[in-house]
Amino acid sequence: MGTQTPFYSGSTDDNTVGALAWFIENSGGQTHAVGGKAANAFGFHDMLGNVYECVNDGYDPYPSAAQTDPMGPVSASYRVLRGGGWYLASAQVRSSNRNNEAPGTASPGVGFRVARTP
């Protein structure tokens, strides 16, 4: 179910991002309720755009060698943010979009997803 394309739909066409995500060109300058765009293969909505998703990975620059799902240091001062947000241009809303934020920092453009292991 994973992809190696810019979008979780498997598409590489920049014109398809509007079906998947909220970004500056289509958001009206605000966040939107979850579920307004197409879900990924797992049935999750808003994995791109709307708000950055804060993940558990510690932020560190990527090493020069090829990586598969690097988690970063547990003791990192910053956490990884993924997917982009409503205030970014559509060209920045990608599965590979990666930013960082200090834990505890409040931002209207950052959220998180509650998940559990069955």
For the chain, which ranges sit under pLDDT 50? none
pLDDT given for residue 74 in this prediction:
86
Residue 13 burial (C-beta neighbours within 10 Å; 0-12, 13-18, 19+): exposed
Q: Which CATH superfamily is domain 1-118 in?
A: paralog of FGE (formylglycine-generating enzyme) (3.90.1580.10)
Token pair of 78 as six digits:
């910053």
pLDDT given for residue 9 in this prediction:
79
pLDDT given for residue 2 in this prediction:
61
Q: Where are the domains positioned within the chain?
A: 1-118
For residue range 35-53, what is the model confidence (pLDDT) as tens digits? 999 988 888 888 889 999 9
